Structure formats: C-alpha cells, structure tokens
Amino acid sequence: MNTKLVECIAQIILSLSEEERELLETKITAAAPSLKVPQSIQKDILDLENRLKTFEAQ
C-alpha cells in the first residue's frame, strides 16, 4: 500500500467544500454503485472529519 499517496488523498478530501465532497461522492457512486455508503455512516464520517479539522486547528 502506498501510505504517502493515501495520506495526500485524505488531506485533499478533507480540504474539499461540502459541495465538492457531494460531487466526489456522486462520481464515486456512479463508478461503483455497489460501494454506496449508508446515510447513517456518511453522517458519522462527516462528524469525524469535522472533529479532526477542529483538532488539527488546535
């Protein structure tokens, strides 16, 4: 696994606006519909991302 690449992608995703994230999710879902994440998990992911941003800002 290319850890450096994954870290860079994670930073890019965290820097996206909500609108950009929704577009990215739409594109990923269209490319691989079987990978759709349930709404409840999406909320958990968004909450975790927000908490991580807050932590990083401190």
Q: What confidence tens digit (pLDDT) does each residue in 28-54 have?
A: 888 877 777 777 888 888 888 889 888
Query: In angstroms, how far is the first alpha carbon of the chain from the final one?
Result: 30
Q: What is the pLDDT of residue 57?
A: 87
Q: What is the pTM of this model?
A: 0.49
Domains in the chain, number:
1
Contact assessment for residue 13 and residue 27, using Cβ atoms and an 8 Å cutoff? no
Distance CA 35, CA 30 (A): 10
- Quickly state the pLDDT bin for 17 (edges 50, 70, 90): very high
Range of the domain at 24: 3-57
What are the strands, taking DSSP E only, across the chain?
none
Instruction: Place 23 in a pLDDT band, splitting at 50, 70 and 90.
Output: very high
Cα–Cα distance measured from residue 46 to residue 31, given in angstroms and rounded to the nearest whole number: 21
